[in-house]
Amino acid sequence: MSRIAKKPIVVPQGVTVTVAGGNVSVKGPQGELSRPLHPDMAVAVAEGAVSVTPHVETKRTKALWGTTAAHIKNMLEGVVKPYEKRLLIEGVGYRWEVAGTKMNLSLGFSHPVSVEIPKGLKVTIEKGVLVIAGIDKDVVGQFAANIRALKKPEPYKGKGIRYSDEVIRRKQGKKTA
């Protein structure tokens, strides 16, 4: 059983939570998020707190209990303060630029790579650092992972795209005689 989900989730000031038709909607100063609920989960909003309880206790609902509570908590945090991921690019001739709703990358391939930016995300470049910001934690994290997957950092020279707080373990390479 989830110990985290047993505790009620405190709703920040200026945020409203509504549960209707199998969906949880959270509205705050940064925007509005909505997520479908699993049929086995019950969400109740009362006196500035949200509580999640399963209808029946099975192994599956015990797992979903904590997951549902974590999703609601992430939604509450996101509408108050947007989530942010920072990516770094390293390598000779590796570049990225944001042009409207697309992102163009030069990653050492024979062709440029173009990626569509999902709606609701704000992508900016500050001194070579790509900043991905948005209110939905899932979308921000998935887009950052997709960009990193285009050219993962390699261990010999460290070239590629990596998170700003990621540490790449370097390998020594060949020794000369």
- For residue 71, the enclosing domain spans 3-80
pTM of the model: 0.89
Compute how many other C-beta atoms are within 10 angstroms of the C-beta atom of residue 74.
18
Domain boundary among 80, 96, 120: 80
- Please give the pLDDT value at position 95: 92
Give the pLDDT of the chain (177 residues) as one tens digit per residue: 567 788 899 999 999 999 998 899 999 999 999 999 999 999 999 888 999 999 998 999 988 999 999 999 999 999 999 999 999 999 898 999 999 899 999 998 999 999 999 999 999 999 889 999 999 999 999 999 999 999 999 999 889 999 999 888 889 888 876
Domain boundary among 60, 80, 100: 80
26-63 confidence digits (pLDDT tens)? 999 999 999 999 999 999 998 889 999 999 989 999 88
The answer to whether 129 and 88 have CB atoms below 8 angstroms apart is yes
Domain boundary among 80, 103, 129: 80
The answer to whether 9 and 26 have CB atoms below 8 angstroms apart is no
Residues 143 and 117 in one domain: yes
Total structural domains within the chain: 2
Question: 106 forms bridges with which residues in the sheet?
Answer: 95
- Please give the pLDDT value at position 172: 87
